[in-house]
Amino acid sequence: MTTVPGAVTKAPAAGGTRRRRPRSYETLTGYLFVGPAVVLFCVMGLYTVGYGFALSFATWNGFTPNWKWVGFDNYADLLWRSPVYAPRVRHATLNTLWVMIAAPALTVAVSFPLAVLLNRVRRFRSVLRSVYFLPYVTSGVAVFFAWQYILQPDGAVNLLLGGLGLGSLQQPQGWLGNPSTALPAMIVVTVWGQVPVAMLLYLTGLQGIDRSVLEAAELDGAGWWRTNASVVWPLVRPITAVVVLLNLRESLQGFQTFLVMTNGGPGDHTNVLGLEAYRLAFLKNLAPTLGLASALGWILFAAAVVLALINLRALRSRT
């Protein structure tokens, strides 16, 4: 992909009449142009990554002058050894896994049919697309509070269920107050926020499908259902792969929704790994948990790299 401009500059002899400045000039300007980005990256990226990595092998509370080096103790404590942290991490891992399974599956289950339907209509398409996009644009504290509000015991969701004659499904403790509905409710909120981008990707994928393929399927007697299930769905499989992996990454790392809406509660039933790391890092005051927090961050990083490798393979199999 970098070959087009490269071909021009790499063959100066072929250019012949073109006047060229010396190579060193271009090198110098190149470094000047990337300079600010690289400097910022060295300070905010490389340094912090290295610092965090070192800290994951030490014990520190953030205030004492020295770190105490402990080797792999932090990792061992988090993964199996500590009676305090290991069970918490295990529980949070379980919750995170639930989100990582349910959120991508539901996002695909909602956004693919939605895109297929949206692709059928001409009128209102752009209006609907804007409406569907609101959850993504506004994703943040404000909307999470709005969800919290409508999931309350006397909130709009219970009200709606009562109005539809589904009063037995109402949650008198509120959807986030009942330990058995809190995590599913959080998954629904997550999916609600993920559908817009997924729907948009499917929509562009659908518009890229050759019309003649669909017409051929129709001629062969395939109805609308058959065409979508047996022809369109396999054709957009690469997009499904991208959607699922974007979602997996978000489920693994994202915890802002959980921090704002439940803070892990009730009773840690919605505690996820990102939130646990955030707590260890910032909400333990003088306890020496900063090394543990870094270690947990690096465990998450390792998981993200594994996902990224799968991502690469899936993308490569597309072409």
Partner 1 sequence: MTSTSPEARTSRARTGPPGERAARTRRLVARTVVGALLALYGLVSVYPFLWMVSAAFKDRIEVVRGGHLIPDDPTLDTLVDTWNKLHFFDFFLNSLLVTGYTVVLTLVIYAAAGYAFAVLRFPGRGALQKLFVSLLFVPGITVMLPIVLLENKMGILGTHFGLVLPFVNGGAPLSILLMTGAFMAVPGELRDSARVDGASELRIFTGVYLPLARPALITVALLTAIPTWNEFLLTRVSLNDPSTYTLPLGLQTLSAENVPHYNNLMAGALIVVIPVILLFLSLQRYFVNGLVGAVKG
- The answer to whether the beta carbons of residues 136 and 197 sit under 8 Å apart is yes
Which strand (E) or helix (H) includes residue 141?
A: helix 141-150
Q: Which residues contact 242 (CB under 8 A, 6 or more apart)?
A: 201, 314, 315
For 179, other C-beta atoms within 10 Å of its C-beta total: 14
Q: Does residue 264 touch partner 1 according to CB under 8 A? A: no
Structure tokens at 316: 């490569």
* 120 contacts partner 1 (rule: CB under 8 A): yes
The single residue among 75, 85, 175, 278 that binds partner 1, judged by CB under 8 A, is 278
Interface with partner 1 (CB under 8 A), residue total: 101
Q: What CA–CA distance (Å, rounded) separates 296 from 277?
A: 6
Radius of gyration of the chain (CA): 26
Between 2 and 83, whose beta carbon lies closer to partner 1? 2
Q: Which of these segments, 39-47, 80-88, 170-178, 225-233, binds partner 1 (CB under 8 A)? A: 39-47
Q: Which stretch binds partner 1 (CB under 8 A): 6-14, 78-86, 177-185, 227-235?
A: 6-14
Cβ–Cβ under 8 Å, residues 59 and 67: yes
Structure tokens of 319? 């072409």
Site for partner 1 in 298-317 (CB under 8 A): 298, 300-301, 304-305, 308
Is 135 an interacting residue with respect to partner 1 (CB under 8 A)?
Answer: yes
Compute the 3-state secondary structure of the chain and give helix, strand, coil in percent, each to the nearest 5. 75, 0, 25
Angle between helices 141-150 and 179-207 (to 10 degrees): 130
> How many CB atoms are located within 10 Å of the residue 212 CB?
8
For the CB of residue 38, give the shortest distance to partner 1 in the complex, in Å.
7
Out of 69, 72, 80, 149, the only residue in the binding site for partner 1 (CB under 8 A) is 149
**For partner 1, the closer CB: 83 or 126:** 126
Give residues 150-179 in contact with partner 1 (rule: CB under 8 A).
150, 152, 154-156, 159
Tell which positions 193-232 bind partner 1, by CB under 8 A: 197, 200-201, 204, 212, 215-216, 218-219, 224
* Residue 292 binds to partner 1 (criterion: CB under 8 A): no
Stretch in the footprint of partner 1 (CB under 8 A) among 51-59, 66-74, 89-97, 98-106: 51-59
Q: How far is the CB of 250 from partner 1 (least distance, A)?
A: 10
Whole-number minimum distance, CB 234 to partner 1, in Å? 19
Q: Give the H or E element holding residue 66.
A: none
